[in-house]
């Protein structure tokens, strides 16, 4: 059984930066992709970014393109999300997830999920 642990959330002013980490343990071999999703108060969870484990192809939501960068360290089974020029609308609980089987990385049918980390951006 895989386990994901997020860290790096917090409170930051608009225009600031944060770096989220997601450490995977347990059954993580053969992952197809890892992704970040977020859920703001009163809204549905939405796709933020994803990275293919083999090859490293990255995908972003339009709302974070050019501000967020997803990366991974295969040796450490860890994924990162560098968030720059943060905006108040980026405030949400951020979740990392692992997709084991091939499929659209933008859909939420991932196999394992972390517990989430709060990101709050003040104006």
Please tell me the predicted confidence (pLDDT) of residue 1. 65
Please tell me the predicted confidence (pLDDT) of residue 82. 98
DSSP conformation class of 80:
E
4-30: average pLDDT: 89
What phi-psi label fits residue 32: left (phi over 0), alpha (psi between -120 and 50 degrees) or beta? alpha
Cα 90 → chain centroid: 13
Run of H or E including 112: strand 112-113
DSSP string, 31-52: --EEEEEEE-TTS--EEEEEEE
- Whether residue 27 is predicted with pLDDT greater than 70 in this model: the reply is no
Q: Which residue is listed with tokens 């989430």?
A: 116
- Whether residue 30 is predicted with pLDDT greater than 70 in this model: the reply is no
């Amino acid at each position: 059984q895989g386990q994901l642990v997020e860290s790096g959330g917090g409170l930051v002013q608009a225009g600031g930066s944060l770096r989220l980490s997601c450490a995977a343990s347990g059954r993580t071999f053969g992952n197809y992709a890892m992704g970040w999703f977020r859920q703001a108060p009163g809204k549905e969870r939405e796709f933020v970014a994803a990275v293919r484990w083999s090859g490293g192809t990255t995908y972003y939501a339009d709302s974070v393109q050019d501000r967020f960068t997803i990366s991974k360290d295969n040796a450490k089974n860890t994924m990162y999300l560098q968030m720059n020029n943060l905006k108040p609308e980026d405030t949400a609980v951020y979740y990392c997830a692992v997709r084991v089987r091939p499929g659209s990385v933008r859909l939420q049918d991932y196999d394992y999920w972390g517990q989430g980390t709060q990101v709050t951006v003040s104006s």
